[in-house]
Every structure is written in C-alpha cells, then in structure tokens.
Amino acid sequence: MRHYQAFINGSFCNAADGRVMETINPYTAKPWATVAQCGKEDVYRAVAAARAAFDHGPWRTMTATQRGAILRNFGDLIAENADHLAAIETRDNGKLYAEMRTQLRYIPQWFYYFGGLADKIEGAVLPIDKPDMFVFTRREAVGVVAAITPWNSPLLLTTWKLAPALAAGCTMVLKPSEHTSASTIELMKLAKEAGFPDGVLNVVPGLGADVGAPLVEHPGVDKVAFTGGDIGGRHVAEAAARGFKHVTLELGGKSPQLIFDDADLESAIFGVVSGIFAASGQTCIAGSRVLVHKSVHDAFVEGFVNLAASARLGDPMDLETQVGPVTTEAQFQRVLSYMDIAREGGAECVMGGGRARVEGAEDGWFVQPTAFTKVSNDMRIAQEEVFGPLLSIIPFESDEEAFTAANDSIYGLAAGVWTQDMSRAFKASERLRAGTIWTNTYRAVSYMAPFGGFKHSGLGRESGQHAIDDYLETKTTWMSFGAKTGNPFVIG
Ligand code: NAD
C-alpha cells in the first residue's frame, strides 16, 4: 500500500507520534493507502514553518511579479500531472474519474489568473483633507492562512484558497479532509518543483478534532479559509472569533431548481439530472429541491425518471460510468436514512429509494439515484442537506409561491431557473437569495466568477478578482512634510 506523509517546511515527514490512518476506496470499501495521522505537535511545527516563511523568508522579500511567476509554474506542472492527480482523487472519494480529470485539467486556470493578479494589487494615494500631508494605502498579505477542506472535490476547493492566498503573499497550512488527503500531499511535490520556498506551503493531514481545531485556535494563524459542513463551519467560526482571526466559510446548501411553465423541459430535465446525480449528489451546489409548476409537473417527472433511470452505475475509473459510489460509509448510511425520513414524512418515491448493488463491487457504497414527489417545502428532505443522490420534487402554482419556497431555507448557496421569459429570469435573479443563480444552465463555475453563499451557506466569496481581498489587509501610511503647529494636546 502507498503511504502519504505530512509536508512541513519543505520536507515530507511522518506524524510526530508516528500514527497513521487508512484511506479507503469507496468503490471497493477497502483501504488503498495509508496517510500520516497528525496531531497538535505537527500543527505547531507547520504553523511555525509558515510563520517563519511569512515573517522572515524569501517569500516576503520576493517581488510580486516573481511570486506570480511561481504560481504560473505551479499551474503548468499541475496541467502536466492532472490525470495522475485525478486518479488519486477518484481512488479516495469515488467520484467519476471523468469529472475529477476535468476539474484537474481546469485547476491551472486559477493559478494563471491569480498569478497574473499578484502584481496588480495596488494601494491608493488619498487626496487627504489636511495640509502638508502625504497619505497612501498599501494592501499587504494577511499573513499565515489555515485552509481546511472537505472530501468532495479536494484539489479544486483547495485551489480556490491557494491561488488567491499565495498571489496575495500569504503562507499556508493546509488541512485536507481525513478521507481524501492523498492528492493534496502529492501536490506538494509539484509545489517544490514550482519553486515555492520552504514553509510557504505545509500540509498536515489528520482528523478535524486533532488537526483542524488546534490549527484554527493557534495564535500564529491570521486567517482561516474553511470549506465543509455547517457543524464544522460553526466550530471554526467560533474559534476564529475568539482569536479575532479573519475567516471565510464555504458551507452547505439545499439549492432549489425552479422550473416554470414556459421552460424548455428537455433542457431543464438535463440540468436537474446533472444537478442532483453528478458526483452522486455530493456537491455543495447539488440542486436537491426541484420546484416545478403544476402544469408541467407530471411531464417533468416522467421525462426526469426516463433520463435518470438510464444512469450507468459502476467503477468510477471507467469513463463510461455515470454514477459512482458515495465517499464514506457514514455518508452512505446517512443518505439511506434520508430515504426513510422521506417516506415517513409522506413523500412518494418515484425512482430508486435504496442501496444499489453493482456487479464486481458488492461492498461498494452505491446508492440508487432517487427522487421523491409529493414533497412539501417544510419536510425534512426539503430542508436538510442530504449530500447524496436524492431529489425532492415540489409543485407550485405562481411565481411568487416559487420564490417564497425557494427562499424558505436556512441555506442560500445556489439556485437554478428554467424559463424562456427573460423578464421572469431577471426577476428570479433579483428575488432569489443565493450566491449563484444559474439560468437555463446548472453547475457552471469559473475562476473569474465569484462563488459563495448567503445565510448558512457561508461568508465571503472565492474565485473572481475580489477573492484576493479576503487575503489582504489595508495599511494606511501618513507622512507629514509641514511644520508642527497648534495645540499638541488636541487631535485635529
Ligand atoms: P466537514 O465539515 O465534516 O469537514 C470539512 C473539513 O473540516 C475536514 O477537513 C474536517 O476534518 C474539518 N473539520 C471538521 N470539524 C472541524 C473542527 N471542529 N475544526 C476544524 N476543522 C474541522 O465536511 P465534509 O463532510 O468533509 O464535506 C461535506 C460538506 O462540505 C457539505 O456540507 C458540503 O455542502 C460542504 N461543501 C461546501 C462547499 C462550498 O463551496 N460551499 C463545497 C464543497 C463541500
């Protein structure tokens, strides 16, 4: 079995106490590698290395143009190794190799975009309201950033933090999910080759309680960038508040897809299938709540079931497979438990509804693509994030009713709108309280498009030019070139 070590101050190393954890392939439900299982001592070493690299290292004295060039080298190296990294991710999280490969091949764009931005971070000269003063602002790196990430798209979500943080001049300690640490560790070989000085990037694999919590609480950390569930997010936000640290959070969702009576139904069905069954529903942006106009409800359900029922479940490494397993056994049990919750709540199962058996992978954590009708928006399956291939279908009669139901959620990450009437589409874009509104499309993301959530779905935005602001502090410098006059005891 392969073994993946921690990466601290430019070197791969085992956990201080020598502990290791297994990482499991969800397709076989068997371990395929071991990973260093770090603890507090390793966190302290990693933060010390990141702190030293920020306070004294060459990263600080390098020009922004030089830093940008290293980011672009990194992007090139990731492009060359994309398929290899994607295969590691598929082994770890069971998501389709076809999807992980697409993500990995796209990731370099974030490093090119933010690498290009590194030397365009400008301050301002202020037309100050006092005589004989020159006042200017500089925008400086916030310092040491702790990046804590989940298992569903390990390197993509890490990149959303890495690229702007490094472009800003920060140093980092990465804490990948305990279920999918291997690709982040493998990435560090490329980081070394790209030219990042020692200590700029560190990876401390381990459990949330053993590594995540002490990392967030460490006084040497200036900012925490977290992606994960709301329980972990709340812990992180509370700990960051206690230390007055900067924090950005990308959390969960229960994203609605609104299908109006004038929608192109074929496109809408395509978008809903991809919104809920891609990645076996394990995406924060899963379109898990369909709100469909009563007049097209039955036609939608029929077309949706026809298309979704053709899904090929199987080995996620096989490019022909359309639906893979879910990532962890706990997640598998949780998704199945929501099938019971849906039935007990009075919903009607129109497809799937239980465990799927896949030939050759009898132990694999496969769940049938599942949909329920007769759902009302107040049921638990319409309100709680399932993070699996389970769709709730809810009918509506008026636009107003659809907007109200869509917004009646603690979450606000994304929404899909299916209509051919552009004035209705603009109205929906205005009325829906979510960070991303997709109209006649779903799941599109880009390095230039800000991404993040309203309400319990998070704080701050990743991607797009302004993402870099979350990794910067503004410093104001006052310079006087006039004589000192007036009363020295009065500020004026
Ligand atoms: P999780 O919250 O269990 O874990 C995320 C990370 O946080 C892991 O690395 C974990 O070890 C760490 N962690 C857990 N508790 C911690 C604590 N107390 N202190 C510090 N770190 C801690 O989430 P998950 O199960 O890995 O991922 C699924 C969740 O992530 C879903 O809710 C999903 O919606 C969300 N997600 C959000 C986005 C987004 O961009 N909004 C993207 C992907 C996933």
Kindly give the distance from the C-alpha atom of residue 230 to the centroid of ligand 1, in angstroms, as a whole number.
8
Q: What digits encode the pLDDT tens for the residues 52-80? A: 999 998 998 999 999 999 999 999 999 99
Kindly give the distance from the C-alpha atom of residue 209 to the centroid of ligand 1, in angstroms, as a whole number.
12
Q: What digits encode the pLDDT tens for the residues 99-141? A: 999 999 999 999 999 999 999 999 999 999 999 999 999 999 9
Residue 486 has pLDDT above 90, yes or no: no
Q: pLDDT band for position 275 (50/70/90)?
A: very high
Residue 406 has pLDDT above 80, yes or no: yes
Give the integer Cα–Cα distance in Å for 299 and 318: 32
Residues of the chain with CATH 3.40.309.10: 256-439
- CB-based contact 99:279 (threshold 8 Å): yes
CATH topology for 256-439 is: Aldehyde Dehydrogenase; Chain A, domain 2 (3.40.309)
Q: What digits encode the pLDDT tens for the residues 336-359? A: 999 999 999 999 999 999 999 999
Q: How buried is residue 125: exposed, middle or buried, by Cβ count under 10 Å (0-12/13-18/19+)?
A: exposed
When pLDDT is averaged across residues 257-277 and rounded to a whole number, the result is 98
What's the pLDDT at 186? 98
Give the integer Cα–Cα distance in Å for 250 and 225: 8
Nearest CA to ligand 1 atom 31: 229
- CB-based contact 167:114 (threshold 8 Å): yes
Give the integer Cα–Cα distance in Å for 486 and 81: 66
Q: What digits encode the pLDDT tens for the residues 16-37? A: 999 999 999 999 999 999 999 9
What's the pLDDT at 178? 98
Give the integer Cα–Cα distance in Å for 327 and 478: 54
Amino acid at 48: A
Instruction: State the average pLDDT for the chain.
Output: 97
Residues of the chain with CATH 3.40.605.10: 2-251+457-476
Sign of the dihedral defined by the CA atoms of residues 184, 4, 173, 331, in that order: positive
Q: Is the pTM of this model over 0.95?
A: yes
Among this protein's residues, is 13 annotated catalytic? no
Buried/exposed code over 18-47 (b: 16+ C-beta within 10 A; e: otherwise): eebbebbbbbbbeebbbbbbbbbebbbbbb
When pLDDT is averaged across residues 434-446 and rounded to a whole number, the result is 97
- Residues lining ligand 1, CB < 6 A? 148-152, 157, 175, 177-178, 207-208, 212-213, 216, 227-229, 232, 235-236, 250-253, 284, 385, 387, 413, 453, 458
When pLDDT is averaged across residues 447-468 and rounded to a whole number, the result is 98
Kindly give the distance from the C-alpha atom of residue 237 to the centroid of ligand 1, in angstroms, as a whole number.
13
Nearest CA to ligand 1 atom 22: 208
Nearest CA to ligand 1 atom 23: 228
The helix/strand/coil state of 357 is coil
Pocket probe for ligand 1: among 21, 152, 461, the residue whose CB has the most ligand atoms within 8 Å is 152
Q: What percent of the chain has pLDDT over 90?
A: 97
Kindly give the distance from the C-alpha atom of residue 290 to the centroid of ligand 1, in angstroms, as a whole number.
25
Q: How far is CA 1 from CA 4, 30, 213, 312, in A?
A: 10, 11, 29, 30
Pocket probe for ligand 1: among 23, 43, 148, the residue whose CB has the most ligand atoms within 8 Å is 148
Ligand 1 atom, smallest distance to 175 CA: 9
Q: Which CATH superfamily is domain 2-251+457-476 in?
A: Aldehyde Dehydrogenase; Chain A, domain 1 (3.40.605.10)
When pLDDT is averaged across residues 294-320 and rounded to a whole number, the result is 97
Q: What digits encode the pLDDT tens for the residues 190-216? A: 999 999 999 999 999 999 999 999 999
What's the pLDDT at 492? 64
When pLDDT is averaged across residues 374-392 and rounded to a whole number, the result is 97
When pLDDT is averaged across residues 1-20 and rounded to a whole number, the result is 98
Give the integer Cα–Cα distance in Å for 283 and 81: 24
Nearest CA to ligand 1 atom 21: 212
Q: Which of 244, 228, 303 is nearest to 269 (CA)?
A: 303
